[in-house]
Structure 1
Amino acid sequence: MLRDLSQADWTRREGLVLLTAALGSENIRWVGGAVRDGLLGVAVADVDCACRLMPAEVIAACGRAGIRTVPTGIDHGTVTAILKDGPVEVTTLRRDVATDGRRATIAFAQDWAEDAARRDFTINALYAHPETLEIADWFGGLEDLAARRVRFIGEARQRIAEDHLRILRYYRFQTRFGAELDPEAEDACAGLAHTLKGLSRERIAAELLALLALPDPHPTIARMRARGVLPVILPEACPPQVAALARLVTAEAEQGIAPDPVRRLAALLPPLPDIAETVAARLRLSKAQRARLVAAAERTAQDAADPRALAYRLTPPVATDRLLLGGGDAGAIAGWSVPVFPLKGGAIVARGVTAGPHVARILQTVEARWVAEGFPDAARIDALLAEALAQAGP
């Protein structure tokens, strides 16, 4: 059962009251994710606003009300109002003039239903009056939301032809909100999967990682693989890797580890660093993401032997990835602070060893013993140093 939108905390934000007064309640409607999630009782961070005023009029009206604006997407009619309880994107009503599957040429409009018709799914085309919170629904979005059904507005193949990324958006939204599959949408996504090749790698990566960040993406990923969608964007993800994702999701839940999309992407790849490098480059991942993906691909059966030694050597996040992916227990390093090796070269020189490579070798020997013994206290380090010096000789 859907909630009354008045129960949603975000509807009582002071900034929204100020924005409504500035632009006029007859000119704006809250729309999209905030409305959808508010009806579901899900926490809302960002609020979007559809507006009948032109961008220049929005900027002027906000200026008169003392609200600072940023022209974040002015060419497409979007102005961001900076409010103390969070920014709000204000977008002038639009209609599509032409689309090519990657981008749309738009024209500004005045009709709420016309603006709603260009949105992707019925559950994303719900508009709320800023004062009464009455919902305007032209395409059965409320019924679909109550049924947990993700359905395209209009004919699915046509909507995908307008923007190929809607294939991946469908799978993400279906994973998050869907309880029952829409046969038309499923068939359209499978039939047009090849069109994903025309999208930028960055857009594909963003959607794929957003999907993998959801609580349990495995059933969807398995379905994408079976329907021929996943091989278009991630051909490396063969059935054994899809099964590995299922095991990882289970391990994260059992060990109380928060889901991580890069770790889950690693599960979908064979544990081969060269492949991880290739995928990271193809998806235009950040340097940090690439490094984690490659480090995860370097996992070995010995990782689980000493989790804290692994974390000391590789950092806890990387060790967590490798332990979970390898079937190990990451609980041993959960919340563990990596200790700092306290012995310095000066202490060795003070024992009569000439500064140089010999000092470095002794340091490495003592550190290795210290790690292997579970990071003992300073007294034990002194004993380990004494042993290393005796073995090294004069």
Structure 2
Amino acid sequence: MNKGRILVVDDEEIARRNLSHVLEREGYQVDCAADGAAALALLAEARYQLVLTDLRMPGIDGLELLRQTKSRWPETEVVMITAHANASSAVEAMTNGAFYYVEKPFRLPDVRKIVGEATQKAALKRENASLKAALDQATTAPRIISSNPDMLAVLGTADGVAATDCGVLIVGERGTGREALARHLHEKSGRRGAFVAVSCGTLGEDALAAELFGQDGTPGAVEAAAAGTLFLDEVAAVPAALQPRLLRLVQDGEFVRQGESQARPADVRTVAASTQDLAALAEESAFRQDLFFRLAVVTLNLPPLRKRRGDIPQLAMHFLTRAAQRMGKPVSEIAPEAFDRLLAYGFPGNLRELESIIERGVALAGGQALTADLLPEALGNPAAPAAGEAPAIKTLEELEREHILKALEHTGGNRALAAQLLGIDRVSLWRKLRRYNEEA
């Protein structure tokens, strides 16, 4: 396994040969140069994680090679090795960006350790740079960052229907970015009006009616979103008494303010979102079926973060950069161990939880890197039974619930297919899932 590419620079052939042999046995790819000029020529042709150079050489010496390397290839680390060490040269080397300064004769275990640390730092810098570059290039969808095929398919469908007036229903767990996708639709729609969001699950019937349609001469969200987009989050929570009025809005393009009788025209595109299965609720008559059909002309299913783990590094760097800028802190890197813990975590809170974890780490960080010790303990110490404690026996109902949820995960959230696999009808499955949601 290639652990990285190293350039050994020394005017003594025996020194070059010995170091090259030792490092190649450690798994590194090693090139050699007899002087600084030859080293610069090689650096211009290939990317090296580390330059291991002698201090005193004819022509371009080690210090000049260090200065030019850090100026032209700042991601490459440099370790100085010399038999002529003194305090001033060591200080000068470190001041000019050397990773470390080693005096001959040196112990091979020490060199192995220093080389390992230097190449790891170089790899981390390069990884962070590539992630930042990827973020800078994500200009087509500034609020949604993903390279996940399922997520990209959702974005493709969203882009395809954005310019239409058809109803769009966004389905996804809490924290998956439902409002961000709705804003993406609005930005791509070309509509000149505002984007107005209403959380239907936080207001009572009268308050929600006033919020949506206006009251006593005061305009509501429908009028505020004129020629724009009205986003209805948690639309499943709209009371039954208000659903006919909402249907009138999306079907006929008109509404009536609270306390009035005169209908008003509405030029608004409606995008709804739900954490619940609106189709199941409509089939069970818990939600108006005609309203569901109008809202869900196109349905976009957002995958949870645990099903798009490949996006975690890029998202984490995005949240890190934003938090560091907001807090005025120099944090610009995420340590490999921290990335490992993030990738292994389940993120029940999805993107919102990831952002919170990164923001916490930036707030606590004392240097340039967000390290594993700055992450919450839950990421490194998943819950487990105490020593000597037997795991609790689960009830049949708990086992059934786990089995049903695993079947849904296996089918990518396709409830009809999950019902087939489980050997039950769709209505029974929907009722069980609805009960689970209510209990949660």
Normalized against structure 1, the TM-score is what? 0.23
Normalized against structure 2, the TM-score is what? 0.21
Higher RCO structure (Cα 8 Å, ≥6 apart) = 2
Question: Which of 1 and 2 has greater Rg?
Answer: 2
